Chains A and B, each alone.
Chain A
Amino acid sequence: MTAERPVCVQIAALGGQGGGVLAEWLTEAARLAGYPAQATSIPGVAQRTGATTYYFELFPERDPAGTPVFSLFPDADGLDLLAALEPTEAGRARENGLVTARTTVLTATARIYSTAEKMVAGDGLIPAAVILDGLAAAAGRMVPLDLAELSAKAGGPANAVMFGAIIASGVLPLSADDGRAAIRAGGKAVEANLAGFDVGLAAVDQPAEAVPEGSPVYSAPPPGFEDRIAALPEALRPLVGHALARLVDYQDAAYAGAYLDRLEPVVALDRGDGVALSAEVAKRLAAWMSYEDGIRVAQLKTRPGRLARIRGELGIDADAPFQVVEYLRPGPEEIAAILPPALARWVLRLGGGWDRGGRRVDTTSPAGYATFKAVAALRRWRPRTHGFRHENAAIGRWLDAVVAAARHDRALARQVAELAIWARGYGTVRRRGLDHLESLFVNWNNRLDAEPETVAADVARSLATARGDPDNDNREAA
C-alpha cells in the first residue's frame, strides 16, 4: 500500500536562528536513513531579522514503487510537525490553518518581540503564554521548550536542541543515530551540535513550564509606616509599601510621609467602592515623586554592584580591563533642575548654546565615578532645587484635578490619574509633557462644571496621544 502523502514538517524561525541548518540536518538525516525527502525555504533576503520558514517533506517508505511527488508548500491541516524557534512564528502558522489535531508543535517559549510591539509607547507586548495556550488548544500535541535554558545547559546551539526534539517527537521515521550522523556529516561545530542534539532528545519528555513574564515584585515597606499602611485597604498595601520603600531610597522618610499625606485623601474618596482610583493614584504618584532627575540618575548609576552586574553580562573576568561609558546629554532643563531656583533661572536664560551634542562619561574611571557620586550626594539639597519645586507644583495641580474630577465622575478621575504618564522622560520630552498637563488643567474646576463632556473628550484624546504618538511624528506638515 503506497502512502498517500509524505510526512510534512515546517520549521519557523527568525533570520539568524539557524533554521536553514536545521532543515539541512533533516534532509541529510533522511538521505542517510534512505527515505526520499525534499526541503525548501523562504529564507527572505540576506537580512537577519524577518520571519523565515523552511518546509520539509519525507516520504515514509524507504523503497517506494515509484518516485514520490513532493510539494514546496504546506497545506491547511497538512502539517504533521511544526518546529518553531519563536512562539509568534508558531502562532502565525496556526493563523494559517496549519496547526490542527494532526500537528505536533515543538516551540520555543521565549518571545523575541517584533518592532511593531516594541514601538508602542506603553505596553504593546504579546505575552508568550497567550500564544502558547492558543497553540496547545489547536495542536494534537504541544511541546513547549525553553530553548535558551536547554541550549545553555547543553553548551550547544538552540537549533541543534530543536533537532533533537524533532527526532525524539517520533513524528518522522528517523532515529537518534540518523540525527547524529547528519550532524557529523555537516562537519561544522560537531561536538557542540551533538551536545545540543542530545539535550533536545531528552527535552521532549519534560516540556517547559510557562513562566509569567514581568509579574510585579514588591519591596518590603520601610519601618516607621506600619500604622499608616495598616489603615489602608488591604489591596493597596503591597503597592504602597513598595512606593514608600522607593521614596525613602529616593529621598528620605519625611518625603515618603509626604507621599502618604497626598495619597490618603484620595483613598478616602474611594472608600466603600473598591480601590481602582486610589491604586492608580498610588502608583502614578509614587512614580512621579521619584522622577528621575540628574541626582537620581547619578544615584542609580553609582549603586554598588552595578559595575559587577554589567561586567558579568559581558562575560569579563573580575580582574580584566573593563570600562563603562555613559551616553549623556543633559540639556539646560536637566541642569537647571538640580540647581537652586536663582541659579536655575540663569542657566535657563543661558540656553543650550554650550551644548555640543552630548557627553560621554566613563563611570569606571575614578574621576567619572567620583563626579557621579558628587551629583548623587546633592540628594539632601534636592527639596531646594528648581526641579523639585517645579515637579511638586505640577504634582499638586494634577492631584487637585484628580480629586475635583472624582467629585463628578469616578471613572473620569481614574483617567485623569492616568494622565500622569505625561510626566515622563527627560529634558525636552519631560518639559513638553508637563506643559501639556498644565495647559490641560487650566480653569479645570470651572470647566468640569460647565462642560464635563468636552473635558472627558480632552482627557481621552490626551491619553491616546500619550500612548499612540508621543513623539508627534504623525502631525501634519507645519
Chain B
Amino acid sequence: MVQVAKRDRAGSGTERSFADAVAKLELGAGETFHGEAIVAVTKALLQAGVSYVGGYPGAPVSHLIDVMAEAYDRILRPYGIHFEQSASEAGAAAMLGASIHYPLRGAVTWKSIVGTNVASDALSNLASAGVVGGALIVVGEDYGEGASVIQERTHAAAMKSSLPLIDPRYHMPLMVDLTEQAFDLSEACHLPVMMSLRIRAAHMTGSFVCRDNRPPAFGANNPVPRARFDYAKMVLPPSTYIQEKAKLEKRLPAAQAYILSHGLNEVFGPADGRIGIILQGGTYGVTLQALARLGAADGLGNSEVPLLVLNVIHPLVPEQILAFLDGKDQVLVIEEGNPAFIETQVRAMAQEAGVTCRIRGKDLLPAAGEFIAPVVRAGVHGFLSDAAPDPLKTRAEGRNAAIEAAAEAGRTAAATPPMPTRPPGFCVGCPERPVFTALKLLMRERGPIHVSGDIGCHTFATLPPFGIGNTVLGYGLGLASGGAVGPALDQPVVAVMGDGGFWHNGLATGAVNAQWQGLDAVLIVLENGYASATGQQHLPSSGTTPWGRRAEVSIEDALRGIGVTWIRRVDPYSVGATLDVLRQAMDARGPHLRAVISDAECMLAKKRRGNRRKARAERAGRPVRRARFGVDAEVCTGDHSCVRLSGCPSLTLRPSDDPLKDAPTAHVDTDCVACALCGEAAQAARLCPSFYKARGTVNATAWQRARAALNRRALDLLGAS
C-alpha cells in the first residue's frame, strides 16, 4: 500500500492572474472598454446593478467567474455584491431563487447544453414561481468547433420553461446594452432570462463606451428590510396551476410587448423586396459575410436583402414576424442546430395568418452542425439562386461558383496525405496521464476492463494512445453509470472521476449510493486540485476559495465519512506502485467501494507557480535546479511502445539518420518537466533502458562546484569525457 503525505498545495489562487480584466471592470462612464466579449458582458452585469453573481465554470464562460472571483475584494465586496462559485449549475440556478421574492438583480453563468441540463430542476421551479428582481443566465453555447459536449440546443430548455432567450447580434455595444436590458425584460415579464453566447463570440474582441457601475438596490450594504412569504410563489398546487397559466397569459405576452416596444429585434435592408431573411442575432456576422461575398451586401452591413435580426429568439413576436413576411414571396430562416424551432413557429404563424410567403430554412441549410462561413454561404446562395430576382441571382451564382472553384483548386493543387487530427490532450507532465498508463498496463495483464468515464481533462484518455473510458454519461456520473455494467461483465464497477466531478455530483450520486447499496466497485479519483479543464478554477478540495481565502474540504475525509474504509492515495507518477494499488483494488472483490485517490497537483498550475519562482531565483543568481528526461537514440529501437503508453507531447520522435534503423527514434523535447512518467513507464512495462533523467544546477554555489569538480575528476579517470 502506498501512502503519500498530503502535499503542500499552494492553492492560493496565484496560479493565474486576471488583473487586466479586473481593471476593465472599473472603467467609468464615457471611458472606452477594449477587450473580449465575455469580459464586456461581465462589465455589463455591474452596470446593471446586480446584487449577486454565481455560476459554474465551463468554456466559453469560465472567464466570467474567473474575473468576478479576482474582482471580489476590489469591486464586489465594496459594492455589497454577493459572489459564489456554485457547487454545480443546479446550485447556480437555485441561487437565482433570491430574485423570486426580492427585488434583487442576479446573474449566473454556465456552459450549455450540459449545464442547462444539470440546472433544469431549479430552472423549471424558478420560471414557474417567477421573479420580481431581474434574473439573467449567461450560457456559453458549446456548439460546433472546439465543443466538448453533446450537441443540443438551449432553445428547447428555454421554450419548455418559458424563459426569454437572447441570442445577440455580435456587436459589442449591442451585446452590452442587451445584457443590461435583459434585467429590465426579466422584471417586466417576471421570468428569468437567458442569454446565449457561442464560443467564438465569447472570445470575440471589440470595444464599447462604458457606463458607471451601479451599486445594487439591495445587498450586503443595504439589506432588504424583511423576509417575505407568499404562497403564490410556492411550486405546489394550486399555485403551480396558476403559475402555468400566468406564464402563457401574462408573462410571455409581457415579454413580447417589451421586445417590441424596446426594439430588441432589428430590421435591416430595404423596406420593400420580394425576399427576406430572418436570422438569429448570433448568425448576423456570418450571414452578412455570405451576402457580401455573393454580391448582395457591402462590408458595412448594407444589404440588398431585407433582414429581420432576432436578438431575442424566444419568445417570438408574431406581429413582428408577420409584418416582415408581408409582401414577400420567400423568406429564409437562418437557424443553427435542431430542432428548427424558429422556422417551425414562423411557418405556423404564416399558415395561421393565411400569409402565402414560402418559408425556407432547413431545406437549404443543414439541420445539424455549426453554421460556419462556407455552410451559411452555401445556404444563402441556394436561397438567392432559387428566389432572388436578377441581376442578384446571376451575380450570386457566379460569385459562388468562383469561390467553390478557387477552394477546390487549393484543395487539389497537390496530393498530400490527410493531416493527422490534433485533439486536445493531457499537458506535458499531467498527473492524470500516468494513471491511464497504469490502467493500460493493467488491461495488458488482464484483458479489457470496462471503465466508466466522466467529464474532465481525463476524458481525453478515451483518445489515443489510451482508449480508456467506455462511456460518459455526465459530470460526476461515472460511478453511477457503471452500476449495471460491472455485474453484467463479471468485473467490479470501475469508474474514473476528477475532483471536479466528485464534488459536482460524484459524491452523492456515485460514492454514497455505491457504499449504501454495497456495489462491488473501484472508484479512481484524480485529485489534481482544480477544475482544470475549464481553466483551473478552485474546488472545495483546492485549499482556498476562488478569491484566495483558506478553506479546504477533503475528498478522503468525505469518503471516510460515508463509511468507505478501503482508500489508497497514490503518487501517480510512480507507475509501478499505482499499478500495484489498482491490482489490489480490483482484487478486493466484495460488496463495498474501494477508492484510489491519485494525488498530484495539476502540472499547469504547478508550473505556472514554479516557473515564476525559478525565473526570479535565476535572475537573482540563486542556485536553481533544472531537470529533464532524455533518450539515448542509439539505444532506442524505434518501436514507440513508450509513446503508446504515454502520449506526452514532450515525448516525441526524431527521424533517424542511421541507415540500419527502421523508424524514427524517441526523443524528449525541451518542454519536458521531468515528471518521470516515460522512465517509470519504461520500467513498469519493461520496455527498454533508453530513458535517463538529467539534472543540473544553474548558479551553483562555490561549494557545489567544488564537489562537482571532484566527481568529474573521478569520472574522467574512468574515461567518461
Where the two chains meet, the residues of A that have a C-beta atom closer than 8 Å to any C-beta of B are 2-6, 14-16, 27, 31, 37-51, 55, 59, 64-78, 88-89, 91-92, 94-95, 97-103, 112-123, 125-127, 130-131, 133-134, 137-139, 213-218, 238-239, 242-243, 246, 283, 286-287, 290, 292, 297, 300-302, 304-308, 310-311, 313-317, 319-331, 357-358, 363-366, 369-370, 373, 421, 424-429, 470-473, 475, 477-478
Contacts and interface: CB of A to CB of B under 8 A. Distances in A.
Contacts of A116: 420-421, 464
Given A38-B204, A428-B686, 17 more contacts: A40-B204, A44-B146, A46-B457, A49-B422, A75-B374, A75-B377, A78-B403, A99-B410, A100-B410, A120-B640, A137-B413, A138-B411, A242-B659, A314-B694, A320-B708, A322-B708, A471-B644
Contacts of A218: 659
Nearest to A97: B407
Nearest to A290: B660
Most A C-beta atoms less than 10 A away, residue of B285, B300, B374, B443: B300
A284 B681 CA distance: 28
A70 B300 contact: no
Contact of B422 (A14, A137, A322): A14
Contacts of A131: 416, 419
Interface residues of B, number: 140
A72 B285 contact: yes
B18 to A, nearest CB: 14
B171 interface: yes
Contacts of B299: 2-6, 59, 64, 68-69
B682 A73 contact: no
B29 interface: no
B704 A321 contact: yes
Contacts of A327: 679-680, 682-683, 689, 691-693
B250 interface: no
24 contacts: A5-B293, A5-B299, A27-B205, A46-B535, A49-B425, A69-B301, A76-B373, A77-B407, A91-B416, A95-B418, A97-B407, A97-B408, A102-B406, A118-B647, A121-B640, A122-B662, A123-B664, A126-B417, A213-B655, A217-B659, A297-B635, A314-B694, A316-B697, A366-B715
B237 interface: no
Interface in B184-225: 198-201, 203-207
Minimum-distance CB pairs A-B, first 10: A214-B655, A97-B407, A316-B696, A50-B424, A358-B683, A327-B679, A75-B373, A66-B300, A137-B413, A76-B407
B641 A67 contact: no
B604 A134 contact: no
A119 to B, nearest CB: 5
Nearest to B603: A48
B426 interface: yes
B643 interface: yes
B300 A300 contact: no
Nearest to B424: A50
Contacts of B148: 45
A313 B669 CA distance: 10
A366 B205 contact: no
Contacts of A363: 692
Given A46-B604, A69-B300, A307-B720, A38 B293 contact: no
Given A45-B59, A310-B692, A123 B657 contact: no
A75 B420 contact: no
Interface stretch (B79-87, B505-513, B624-632): B624-632
Contacts of A74: 373
Contact of A322 (B447, B643, B695, B714): B695
Contacts of A427: 686
B659 A216 contact: yes
Contacts of A286: 660
Contacts of B1: none
B719 interface: yes
Interface in B382-434: 402-404, 406-411, 413-428
Contact of A214 (B417, B576, B656, B692): B656
Given A67-B171, A69-B300, A300-B632, A95 B414 contact: no
Contacts of B721: 304-305, 307-308
Interface in B273-326: 284-286, 288-290, 292-293, 297-302
Contact of B715 (A64, A123, A307): A307
B424 A331 contact: no
Contacts of A98: 407, 410
A320 B414 contact: no
Given A39-B205, A331-B686, A115 B464 contact: yes
Given A115-B464, A119-B643, A370-B718, A46 B532 contact: yes
B658 interface: yes
B348 interface: no
B700 interface: yes
B416 A38 contact: no
Contacts of A76: 373-374, 377, 403-404, 406-407
Contact of B289 (A69, A138, A358): A69
A15 B343 CA distance: 38
A95 B374 CA distance: 13
Given A77-B403, A88-B419, A91-B416, A46 B534 contact: yes
Contacts of A246: 660
A371 to B, nearest CB: 10
B339 interface: no
Contact of B708 (A27, A69, A283, A321): A321
A366 B721 CA distance: 13
A354 to B, nearest CB: 14
Nearest to B637: A424
Given A40-B201, A214-B654, A357-B683, A323 B411 contact: no
B460 interface: yes
B654 A471 contact: no
A427 B684 CA distance: 12
Interface in B138-164: 145-146, 148
Contacts of B31: none
A139 to B, nearest CB: 8
Most A C-beta atoms less than 10 A away, residue of B207, B407, B410: B410
Contact of A138 (B290, B414, B457, B709): B414
Contacts of B577: 357
Interface string B670-702: 010000000110111011110111111110100
Nearest to A363: B692
A119 B640 contact: yes
A316 B416 contact: no
Nearest to B683: A358
A130 B635 contact: no
B476 to A, nearest CB: 18
A321 B707 contact: yes
Interface in B447-472: 447-448, 457, 460, 463-465, 467
B269 to A, nearest CB: 12
A426 B687 contact: yes
Contact of A78 (B170, B293, B409, B460): B293
B632 A320 contact: no
B425 A115 contact: yes
Nearest to A61: B299
Given A246-B660, A429-B687, A78 B411 contact: no
Contact of A471 (B409, B444, B715): B444
Contact of A115 (B647, B708, B714, B720): B647
B452 to A, nearest CB: 17
A101 B410 contact: yes
A97 B628 CA distance: 41
B637 A292 contact: yes
Nearest to B706: A319
A92 to B, nearest CB: 5
B639 interface: yes
